[in-house]
Structure 1
Amino acid sequence: MDEAPLSRTEQRNPRSAAIDRMPTLDLLRLINTEDRQVPDAVADVLPELSVAVDLAVAALSAGCRVHYFGAGTSGRIAVLDAAELIPTFGLEPGRVVAHIAGGSRSLTNPSEDAEDDETAGAAAAGDVAAGDVAVGVTASGRTPYVRAALVTARARGAHTVLVSANPASPIASGVDVHVAPDTGPEVVTGSTRMKAGTAQKLVLNAFSTATMVRLGRTYSNLMTDMLASNAKLRDRQLRILSEATGADPAQCRQVLLATGGDAKVALVTLISGATVQAAGHALAETDGHVHQALRLLDHQAD
């Protein structure tokens, strides 16, 4: 059987062939020059990423879930992205779930053989349901764990997205959307923790952030839904309310207390002048979208 051709992430980079003989500053400049190619590669795949975001927004709006599947560096990036959505956007635990080959131990201990475990990949996708979105993250675009997870997820009625650094990925033909920034050969041959990993971080950050914004988890560019779980974040919450409404911090604190700490209800109360109860009801009616809630209150006042 012929071997699969090497993806560009696994090819040698002629620009870095002499890295082991370079002075430190020249070596760092080379790495930096290569890294600067990554944002442009991500920009090239924004149309595909937009489709993936719309799938995620539809799924989460319908009460379904988004699942990430990855191994090694890709899996760690996916776990990080999913975890940060809870404090940043107040997302309920279990709505965006990350599955990493080898389990949680793989976050800090290498489990390179786990990426070949197709049985584990299929099992990880066992709780995917129809209407969910399954996102496979693999630099090479051919990791067996990810492939099996996506095949299983699709068979269970989920939409499937592949995030890779290999436009010629053999998995791509079996998914709904392939987001593949072409980051090219790495400075250290095959070390996809570098450019390919950076691209995956940018893609997942953009994917999840855009999804949260579309779901109404911000007002303008302010984190209205963040969990204020310590003193620093509680102070930030008051600054957000003051900046968004023009009210002084003392008034913001008073209204925030009246809402039981719900910054979004406080925000709508301060902007609209409505009661806390009316603001809360308007947000419930509009699935938490502040602008829509304000329009609803304006309409009710007419």
Structure 2
Amino acid sequence: MSNAVAVVTGASGGIGEQIAVGLAASGATVIMVARSYERLSRAAERVGHAFPGAGVEIDPVDLGDLPQVRALAERLIARRPSVVVSNAAVIAPLDDRTPAGLHRTLAVNHLAPYLLLRLLAASPPDCARRFVVVGASPRGLARVPVDLDDLNAETRRGLGWPPSFRPFVAYGRTKNMNAMFVYAMASRLAGTSTTINGAHPGIIKGTGLGRHSRGALKLFGSTLNLFTPASDVGAETPLWLATDPAIEGVTGSFFVDRTATGTAPHTTDPVRIESLWRASARLVGMPADDVAPGADYRGR
């Protein structure tokens, strides 16, 4: 990774910060992206203190604002990163809407990486390039298939009970979108020097995902944090996907504990994957067919 440029979103703490630490240790110049300038600056200082002399930069961006994501992509294209780790995620209240009317969870967790990585993929890299999308537990997500007719959680159909858990179910749907996006993008990038894979970091404390939780969900999260490992453990598999020479050329797979793992059938169905791709393209204002699928979907 010496002299390489690597990008990590959601890098102002938790798993994202630990991924940035690992990338800095490998010799890469790390561009840390997150919404809060203050938190991002403090995280960059911690990474710099851990590895004096490491190239660490910050780029404050609200990933829920798609014009800001486009501007970020333009800046990054000029830097030609060889690694991009999409780690940013949020569990937002259902009434938390962006200026464009998008549920913030959908915008940050799915549409931002969809838009960012598609724009970066359109610019040929100087060398082999890896995209890594941080998802969630395939086993848990099997129970929350994406509602392709209600991506924006407007009807709140099927989000279950109690109401305090509904933002968490909406979050789970976006994590299934992450896996579906990985499979669709890998198909389109087949035969190129860019790979894309997904990873479950594990159930990790200190991610900040539950900061908006209320009621039963807040109690559930607080209890879970008593028994879960710290963010450095969660960074292990995404960092391995970003850096390990042994997986050069591996693409279109989802990993748990560094092991390729199947995701639910509703995430690997080609018709559902294409439907999500096209709906996402409409939401971000991109053509759906600028790059056609180049191979069978690799998801298992």
1 or 2, which has the higher helix percentage? 1
TM-score range with shorter-chain normalisation?
0.3 to 0.5
The two structures have a TM-score, normalised by structure 1, of: 0.35
1 or 2, which has the higher strand percentage? 2
The two structures have a TM-score, normalised by structure 2, of: 0.35
